Copies of this chain bind each other. A is one copy, B any other.
């Protein structure tokens, strides 16, 4: 993650401190951004690195009290990456519609309703779709190599 020049530092809320959430929070913290991580299980914060300089909030991020506790009103971005699609959708919609957060990203394991959320200004990432694209890229690379060896033109 590149450091980016801007007038004000961003204030990012990461919801879910699993492998992806913790990694994201560590990286944002490392480049000097303000970051708050929310997880309903305080044990999850063990995944944060010792140098993590952000704030942790224990609680269910689909509850308004928890979001207020994380000072969501100040957030420039909310990234919801819990293991539950429903939670990620609910948090994303609250962030977008109640708090008017500029950038909202939700992880969805099930990509089916992805386009609906895009209309609401919620960006989604789907691991299965990303993995498909990566595998396609890997297969294409090998094929091109094989074709070259056989002296064909592609």
A residues contacting B by CB (< 8 A) are 1-2, 4-7, 10, 19-20, 23-24, 27, 77, 79, 81, 102-103, 105, 107, 109-110, 123, 125, 127-128, 130-132, 134-136, 138-140, 142-143, 146-147, 150, 152, 154
Distance in Å: Cβ of A146 to nearest Cβ of chain B: 7
Our pick among B23, B110, B154 for the contact of A132 (Cβ within 8 Å) is: B23
Q: How far is the CA of A147 from the CA of B6 in the complex (A)?
A: 7
Give the residues in chain B near A146, CB-CB below 8 Å. Answer: 6, 102
Contact across chains for B24 and A135 when beta carbons are under 8 A apart: yes
Contact across chains for A4 and B150 when beta carbons are under 8 A apart: no
Contact across chains for A135 and B6 when beta carbons are under 8 A apart: no
Q: How far is the CA of A127 from the CA of B79 in the complex (A)?
A: 16
Q: How far is the CA of A131 from the CA of B19 in the complex (A)?
A: 11
Our pick among B127, B138, B147 for the contact of A130 (Cβ within 8 Å) is: B127
Contact across chains for B20 and A105 when beta carbons are under 8 A apart: no
Contact across chains for A130 and B130 when beta carbons are under 8 A apart: yes
